[in-house]
């Protein structure tokens, strides 16, 4: 009896931990979407879920495109978040591969660094991005 109770408790704790991770990931995607939209609107595309008059409209899809690569972060209705790396040719995604959200974020940061090295206006926008002024 006690063993069954321990297993049930473990399952509940695990479910709660997964839910917290999902909430943190969702908040991270929301923050990233706001920051990228403000800093680099020409590179960023955001789709939101929910009714257009509702108070909260969470990000359902965040797309960031650079010269030859793009990153797509999608959130399903159930809250599952997936990330993809895309190969871009002439503005069209030809190849897409799954990746972890953490890897996706790291690669977006690398692309942002490269963009800042090439353009002074992008560097100014990214300074606002890093300072949280969005």
Q: What is the mean pLDDT of residues 98-111?
A: 87
Q: For 20, phi and psi rounded to 5 degrees?
A: -65, -45
Task: Say what the pLDDT of residue 70 is.
Answer: 94
> In the chain, what are the domain boundaries?
2-131
- What digits encode the pLDDT tens for the residues 17-57? 545 466 677 788 888 888 888 878 888 999 998 777 777 88
Residue for token pair 């839910």 = 19
Neighbours of 107 (CB within 10 A): 17
């Amino acid at each position: 009896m006690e063993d069954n109770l321990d297993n049930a408790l473990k399952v509940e704790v695990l479910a709660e931990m997964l839910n917290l991770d999902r909430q943190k990931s969702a908040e991270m995607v929301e923050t990233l979407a706001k920051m990228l939209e403000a800093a680099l609107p020409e590179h960023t595309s955001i789709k939101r879920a929910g009714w257009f008059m509702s108070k909260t409209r969470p990000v359902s899809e965040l797309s960031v495109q650079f010269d030859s690569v793009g990153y797509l972060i999608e959130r399903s209705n159930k809250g599952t978040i997936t990330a993809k790396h895309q190969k871009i040719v002439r503005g069209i995604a030809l190849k897409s591969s799954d990746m972890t959200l953490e890897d996706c974020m790291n690669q977006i940061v690398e692309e942002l660094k490269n963009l800042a090295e090439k353009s002074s206006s992008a560097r100014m926008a990214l300074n606002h991005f890093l300072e949280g002024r969005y």
